[in-house]
Chains A and B, each alone.
Chain A
Amino acid sequence: MLDQPAAQLPVSQRTNPERSFTEEVRALRLGDGELFRGEGILAVTKAILQSGVAYVGGYQGAPVSHLVDVLVESQDLLDELGVHLETCTNESSAAALLGASINYPMRGCVTWKSIVGTNVAADALSNLASPGVIGGALIVVGEDYGEGASVIQERTQAYALKSSVWLMDPRPSLPTIVRCTEKAFELSEATNTPVMMELRIRACHVTGEFVAKDNVPPAISRNHRLAEPAAHNYDRISHPPSTYAHEKIKVEVRQPAAERFIVEHGLNEHLPGERSDLGIIVQGGITNVLVRGLDRLEVGGRIPTLVLNVTHPLAPDQIADFCRGKRAVLVVEEGAPDYIEQAVHVLLRKRDIDTKIYGKDVLPMAGEYTAEVVTEGLLKFFAQSANDIDLSGPRERFEAARAGRAEAQRLLGGPLPLRPPGFCVGCPERPVFSAIKLLEREVGKVHISSDIGCHSFATLAPFNLGNSILGFGMSLAAAGAVAPVMQKRTISVMGDGGFWHNGLLSGVASSMFNRGDRVLVIMQNGYTSATGAQFIPNTSGNRRDGQTTSDIAATLKAMGVGWLRTIRTYNVGTMLKTLREAMSTEHKGLKVIVADGECQLARQRRIRPQIAAQLKRGERVVRTRYGVDDEVCTGDHSCIRLSGCPSLVVKPNPDPLRSDPVASVNNGCVGCGLCGEVADAAVLCPSFYRADIVQNATWWDRLKWKVRSKVIGAMAGA
């Protein structure tokens, strides 16, 4: 079973070889005139290499993880070009990386998930934006907004505005995305300002093609090193009095320059239309939804449209010229607040242009601009601004579709059962929460401070454990003022990803410093699994020499943590005992349980090919999995409520006298043993059995088996 070390790999040796991007890596090598085919985010990756980027960095997070992931696998190419790749431990170190472009004419690109990543990066970002850059600096942010988003719904635009960083929001078509990426570096250099480019989830994953160019080796690089550092120049240090000058330069020099660049290089697109009295101004990223909406209303290609591939700064004259002489203009801007709409109002007002501006009055202030939302907004806009357009046909179809949906929902008697994300089959984190549930049976409810990572799935069914999430690596800090007012100790849960990202200092150091009497459970699975199993300092994460950088337990000891236990997670009994002790020990101060178990997803990726090879070679392999005796199971499903393993399912009761479905283990089982462990620890029922199937059995296995079967068969017959 997996709680036996033999079946597990020590954390320092955990690597994740299977995940490979061979196809993608090949695409990055395409040269002049060749056709690139792939997803949006990969197109960006190719475009930065075509732009002669000298260094790349970032912190993983959907939907932009692939940018760094693919480059990690492209080490040869990067070495040829001399591009430096930094797999940062959080977004603020990624933002700080761009500091290289303050003093040196080098192009750099970093990436992270926004809004959360931008929040973490904010300090470095301000200090970067103030002195500005001489080498093009691009920040590719995944705008994790709308359906499928996993973070707080806020706009990156706010950061662009307050830090005077330019923000691109390219129309989601590969040629446009690529052009914007290349232009972003030029814009950055022409205005000494870092540029952010936001890509929504669907845009990152959109497939398409564009004609590639050769990659450009940077002039200054690992391969062409500088003999001397830049001369000392206090203007480039974000410290007073420079900062006062920087503030003025931002608005007096850089922004006007940017506005000129945007117009001169045609970064924003103008889609013509014969209705010169009307117009639409739309964020580049929303263009496709808008265009399809107009087609739906049979006015496609008739309404002049200004596509803002750059949403900060706006080019005031461009917008004024677009609006001048029009009766009504609709601003299609997703999310709140309505920064662009407000800006348009102001710049028209100042020019005494009396075009009526529609926006958040016909479109919702908050929420994703889906096809349905935009269509409804357009219907309202035209109804109020151009009732000469006959929309009766389209409106009927639209209403019919909605009525149909209502009918469907009536038929289904909905709502349908939800499918919240849960732990993978055999996940090492699941047993910890099973143990916490059992602990709560003994001591009652406990305040649980949750964190970001796979383990946040414990806040969902069937565990429903967790009182708050305050951000990545923040769970211990978030218990700071709860623990002192609780009779029972609080439990903070944190992943090893979160620990290195922020938890070490914001959480552990602060708790130690304040003598906090709290319990911290660190899930040591060896990767940032939720973002695609990237390496971290406590795995063999240094992708170059495979040596582990840092060990969590050693780090905690060094910081003076007095109560520290490292437990293999799968043994629920031991985990329960340890939690019990942590909750009741006389030891004041921080109590840390390092819950160790390799990410099962990564583990399966690693061992599947190995096992396949062993079987091929005819070697003896024992396959372990679990099962349920359907005759013994009575269909209460406590086991499922305490585990929720996807391979622990229910099936119709084979008993002709019973109706309740019985539990069953399907073939997804990886034999982690949790179901048996839980049945044991919770004293559930004797239905579970463990089966060890001997593949490529030896003659001795076979002989034993034959003899036993004979005897047992005889006994069973008796």
Chain B
Amino acid sequence: MPKHITLLIGALGGDGGGVLCDWIVSAAQSRGLGVQATQIPGVAQRTGATTYYVEVMPVGAAPSSVLALNPAIGEVDVALATELLEAGRMIFNGFVTPDRTTLIASTHRVLAIGERMAMGDGSFDVGRLLRAVKERSREQILFDMDQAAEESGGVLNAVLLGALAGSGRVPIPDSAFEAAIRHAGKSVDTNLAAFAFGRGHARGELDQAVREHRKRQTAVQGAEDLIERARRAYPAASLDVVEEGIRRLTAYQDRRYAALYLDRLDTIQALGSAELLREVARHLAVRMSFEDVIRVALAKTAADRMARVRAEVRAKEQEPLEITEHFKPGIEEIAAVLPPPLARRLLAWGQRTGRLGKTYFSMHVRTTTILGFARLRLVAGLRWWRPRTSRYVEEQAEIERWLGQIRDAAPLGLDLAREITESARLIKGYGDTHKRGLGNYRRIADEVIAPALAGRMTPRAAADAVANARVAALADPEGQSLSTTLAAIATATPPLRQAAE
């Protein structure tokens, strides 16, 4: 008896896996093939994972033969996935096997909530997924079907159907699949287009322009001589970062500020590690261009922004666009742009009256109106004032403290210096987020870095400790894992007295 062909489909709610299933079934039926499909719809349209299982009897099979409702490990001929992690899931569950399974999957990622809600980069290692895909399946048809769908103007499930047709693994001609799409009668033309795209990719007739995520360099004039200075002084390996740093800080503040950046870097350069220099250059530029209202206003009124927004929200050529910004400055934000003495007074008053952290001014500014734009432009124009603001003064002090720690650490061990450098990652964001990040950094500085610099840990142990603390700080916003980690480090660290002996 000729063997049935088994297909397993992994999709996300809303990917149209059910429709894909129907297309396959009706195409098979139209060829007089015995076919059976069933599904675990999950919670459709609600982001959950859904699976569909199809068995197709080959020509001449007994109509009475029993078809299974469950996929079996090692017995799947074709596995289709609308997304890369779902392909990984089918592999993880043992359904995709090197001796039998053709894996047809989209390479794009739709991050699961757990990956998205991480405080840093929580996404699952794509390299691992691709390696498993390559090693654990007999053959693969892989391309970004999300992009293909977009290019074809259709939807992903039709692209996937096309890829299945193109794979030639089912005894169903293209015409039958196309007929199935027509029979279903919903947005036939775009689906047929998407189908053709998928088939083309599967047959290698089309190749895909890889969607690149371009890094945006800052455009600025008048920093050429500083860039020259960097080129003369620093190893080539660090220049891409340093030059961007110079450009950014010139745009953020002015040439003098960018020069200060280089002066600071010179002290790191003296430590003699190109790698360290590069990392410090990266973080230093980010720290020196800290997020204050002036920077935000500058970004929101940048010349190239409108074009970027129009593209992102897919506004067509002739379509007018209204943009409304959400701002909500509080007492702290106002204090940040005042000179230190005034800021202290304002904050003290906020404390007294209990308004601090309670009173905010919710502003919805429309940057597409002349007045709205002008208001932000005005704020952006306050750059000249920035060096007098309390926030500026604080940030510079923090930065100097951090650089000092790096300089002190370097002689003890470059690893430690590098880890201290990297810990600058923790300081980012606005309002509470920034407060939390800075707080975490300070805790690590006091409870790990200081003892380390005091020689109460071996440099290696210290480096690990800082790294662990940093990871812990990014684990949860409540800071529980940081506390436990710091406690563990403390117990491992000998108290001062012994160290002195």
Contact = CB atoms under 8 A, between A and B. Distances in A.
B38 A686 contact: no
13 contacts: A148-B40, A202-B38, A402-B94, A413-B125, A419-B85, A420-B113, A460-B113, A632-B291, A637-B117, A655-B216, A657-B282, A684-B432, A701-B320
A148 B433 CA distance: 38
A623 B256 CA distance: 45
Contacts of B72: 292, 296, 371-372, 375
Contacts of A405: 73, 92-94
A515 interface: no
A683 B68 contact: no
The 4 closest A-B pairs by CB, nearest first: A405-B94, A401-B74, A371-B72, A705-B320
A401 B320 contact: no
Contacts of B316: 695
Interface stretch (A210-218, A583-591, A641-649): A641-649
A408 interface: yes
Contacts of B59: none
A526 B95 CA distance: 41
A419 B370 contact: no
Contacts of A627: 309, 312-313
A416 B36 contact: no
Contact of B123 (A148, A650, A685): A650
B98 interface: yes
Contact of A697 (B92, B112, B320): B320
B429 A636 contact: yes
Nearest to A711: B370
B213 A652 contact: yes
Contacts of A205: 38-39, 41
Interface secondary structure of A, over-half rule: mixed
Contact of A693 (B35, B71, B306, B321): B321
Interface in A667-700: 667, 676, 679-680, 682-686, 688-695, 697
Nearest to B315: A693
A686 B360 CA distance: 13
Contacts of B119: 636-637
Contact of B129 (A208, A412, A715): A412
Interface string B38-52: 111111011111000
A372 B282 CA distance: 53
A487 B394 CA distance: 42
A64 to B, nearest CB: 13
B73 A689 contact: no
B113 A462 contact: yes
A138 to B, nearest CB: 23
Contacts of A682: 432
Contacts of B71: 371
Contacts of A651: 213
Contacts of A308: none
Contacts of A457: 43, 46
A288 interface: yes
Interface string B20-48: 00000100010000011111111101111
B68 A371 contact: yes
B373 interface: yes
Nearest to B333: A683
Contact of B322 (A173, A411, A656, A691): A691
Contacts of B325: 686, 688-689
B89 to A, nearest CB: 6
A239 interface: no
B501 interface: no
A661 to B, nearest CB: 6
A152 interface: no
Contact of A680 (B38, B39, B326): B326
B296 A686 contact: yes
B323 A691 contact: yes
B302 interface: yes
B120 interface: yes
Contacts of A288: 66-69
Given A401-B94, A679-B326, A680-B326, A372 B73 contact: yes
A172 B73 contact: no
A695 B322 CA distance: 12
Nearest to B131: A411
A208 B128 CA distance: 39
B477 interface: yes
B349 interface: no
Nearest to B22: A207
Interface in A424-474: 424, 454, 457, 460-462
Contacts of A62: 41
Given A632-B296, A657-B282, A371 B370 contact: no
Interface residues of A, number: 114
Contact of A416 (B42, B47, B88): B88
Contacts of A693: 313-315, 319-322
B91 A408 contact: yes
A625 interface: yes
Interface of B: 12-13, 25, 29, 35-43, 45-49, 53, 66-75, 85, 88-89, 91-94, 96-98, 110-121, 123-125, 128-129, 131-132, 135-136, 213-217, 240-241, 244-245, 248, 282-283, 285-286, 291, 296, 299-303, 305-306, 309, 312-316, 318-328, 330, 360, 362, 367-370, 373-374, 377, 425, 428-433, 437, 477
Max chain B C-beta neighbours (<10 A), residue from A400, A695, A708: A708
A368 to B, nearest CB: 9
A289 B68 contact: yes
A202 B40 contact: yes
A5 interface: no
B300 A632 contact: yes
A683 B330 CA distance: 9
A417 B125 CA distance: 11
A454 B48 CA distance: 12
B360 A683 contact: yes
A655 B25 CA distance: 47
A715 B112 contact: no
A417 B299 CA distance: 35
A629 B301 contact: no
A413 B367 CA distance: 47
B207 to A, nearest CB: 23
Contacts of A402: 73, 94
Nearest to A370: B70
A201 B52 CA distance: 12
Nearest to B134: A411
Contacts of B428: 634-636, 660
Contacts of A454: 46
Contacts of B362: 680
A717 B303 contact: yes
Contacts of A641: 117, 477
A409 B128 CA distance: 11
Contacts of B45: 424, 601
A693 B314 CA distance: 9
A205 B13 CA distance: 16
A288 to B, nearest CB: 5
A656 B429 contact: no
Given A411-B132, A457-B46, A689 B25 contact: no
A434 to B, nearest CB: 13
A655 B299 CA distance: 13
B328 A683 contact: yes
Nearest to A204: B38
A309 interface: no
A189 B9 CA distance: 43
Given A424-B47, A680-B362, 13 more contacts: A202-B39, A202-B69, A371-B75, A405-B73, A462-B117, A655-B286, A679-B326, A686-B300, A689-B309, A691-B309, A694-B320, A715-B373, A716-B303
